Chains A and B, each alone.
Chain A
Amino acid sequence: MNRNGVDFTFSWIFAIIAGAVILGAAIYITTQLIDSSDVQRDTLVAGEIANLLNHIQTNLEDNKYSVINFATDTRVYNECSTQGVFGVQRLSTASKTRNQWSDESIRKSVYDKYLFSGEVEETEDKRLHIMVNPLVAPFKIGDIISIYGAKYCFVNPSNSVEDLINDLSVDGKQDIGINITTSINNCERNVTTVCFNRIGCDINVNTQSEVVTKDGNDMYYEGDSLMLAAIFSDYEIYECQISRLMKRASELGVVYSKKAVYIEGSGCSNNLVSDLQSFVLATNVTSSRDFARQVMPIAEDLERRNNDLGSCKVF
């Protein structure tokens, strides 16, 4: 009787332990599979965003606006690095499922795109706004791609900025996430306010010295496209992308200086070789301030001289 009792207990203990281990392993594996399936889906979304950026890049256009609609609330992680010849843009996403954010997906690396945004950009109403403008200094260097989810209120912007916003929003018929007003009091609550030539907003723009001040950091710009990029960007992202754009400008400058030599040999005199070489040297910048103060004057001079060349234009 006693022996039977021991035997019964041992079998049950053995079965319970083995069953618990198998059940535990099954639950663990299932949880891991669900997590990895979330990461897999978010990685594909990051890849799709990178592909979308190809579709919306500019050719002959000055500006482009587009909106990405997501199936769920999504965070886009923007990571910028200046390492390597062109630096690298890394893109990843996370989505909100079962009321919690999934882990950050595997990052997609691209070398020819320049995303200006916060380090983490979150969708609002499951959508992100994208504004694309080419950076021409003095030749096209790349597309400035500004991405933002939050709403902005521009207080007293310059006429050129107002025209640009009106163009992109088709005179207010399309919601591009930016409202224009004459007083900060007219701005809705919970929107990011942007003041032009005055202080008191979340972001302040000084159009005289061409500086955007955000979170106590100064970002220098040249032209409305870079001004908008600075408004939508975090300081670190903005400075990094400017450095990356200058790296590409340097490589393109080398190609154009070789082209200048080549077409000069074909009987097309241009005298731009030494200036292009100076431009290449000047592009070795570490901040947006150097870009605005050091590179742009040379670029403007080069553009003027190139335009005078008629059919022998180098760029």
Chain B
Amino acid sequence: MTWVHARYSKMNKGQFKIQQMVFIIVAIIILFGIVSVFFVSIRFSSLRGDVEDLRKDAVLSQVRKIAGTPEFNWIASDDCSSCIDLDKVFLLKERNTYNGFWTDTSLLRVIRVYPLHENEECTTESYPRCNQITLVNSGNFEAYESFVSLCRFDQDIKQNKCEIGKILMGFDSVR
């Protein structure tokens, strides 16, 4: 009887030690987990900021340079770096092949500043007596603009004509 009691109490002590150890290990793992979560959240927030900066820089650099790209540039004049070909931009709107062509861009719109017409968005019926041509518009965006000259061949005066406008470009913020 004495021997059985001694063995029973010895087993209890061993189990207690293992239990103690398991508690410490669990506590260490939880501590590691909390530190990891904290670390990962800090890293992800800085990564989000970096990606957002990159997208912003991409849009800012593009909005300054887009007037010189083949899809926008006005070739009839050799000395106008900020002139865009409005006819070409309007015809681009009908080309679905350009979907996704401008990376990191969630808004791309050409707006007439002066003189303004009654129609807002340009359609086949209203062009060129309209105020804006939207090439890309998807979701929320932070937008930047750049002033340009909107040039085209004018049917009424039978020569090329340029008006004041601006290009609006936006990027999708990281969610």
Contacts and interface: CB of A to CB of B under 8 A. Distances in A.
B54 A312 contact: no
B10 interface: yes
Interface stretch (A49-57, A154-162, A288-296): A49-57
Interface residues of B, number: 50
B73 A140 contact: yes
B119 interface: no
Dominant secondary structure of chain B at its interface with chain A: helix
Given A18-B25, A59-B81, A140 B75 contact: yes
Contact of A59 (B28, B65, B87): B65
A258 B91 contact: yes
Interface string B20-31: 010001001100
B98 A48 contact: no
Given A22-B25, A22-B29, A255-B91, A311 B76 contact: yes
Nearest to A60: B81
Dominant secondary structure of chain A at its interface with chain B: helix
A47 interface: yes
Given A22-B28, A22-B29, A312-B153, 5 more contacts: A18-B21, A59-B81, A111-B102, A255-B95, A311-B76
Nearest to A15: B21
Interface string A183-210: 0000000000000000000000000000
A228 to B, nearest CB: 20
B61 A60 contact: no
B78 interface: yes
Interface of A: 3, 7, 10-11, 14-15, 18, 22, 26, 29, 40, 44, 47-48, 50-51, 54-55, 57-60, 85-86, 109-112, 139-142, 248, 251-252, 254-256, 258-259, 262-263, 266-268, 311-313, 315
Nearest to B90: A262
Contacts of A139: 70, 75
Interface in B24-42: 25, 28-29, 32, 36
Contacts of A311: 76, 153, 159-160
B70 A11 contact: no
B65 A48 contact: no
A252 B18 CA distance: 75
A47 B155 contact: no
Contacts of B25: 18, 22
B125 to A, nearest CB: 14
A273 to B, nearest CB: 13
Given A112-B102, A315-B75, A266 B155 contact: yes
A266 B156 CA distance: 9
Given A59-B68, A111-B100, A263-B87, A313 B17 contact: no
Contacts of B154: 266
Top-9 shortest CB links A-B: A59-B68, A54-B61, A266-B155, A47-B54, A59-B81, A140-B70, A85-B97, A258-B91, A51-B57
B107 to A, nearest CB: 17
Contact of B153 (A86, A110, A258, A268): A268
B21 A54 contact: no
B76 to A, nearest CB: 5
A238 to B, nearest CB: 20
B129 interface: no
B45 interface: no
A181 to B, nearest CB: 35
A251 B159 contact: no
B71 interface: yes
A241 to B, nearest CB: 15
B116 interface: no
B10 A3 contact: yes
5 contacts: A50-B58, A55-B61, A60-B81, A86-B97, A112-B69
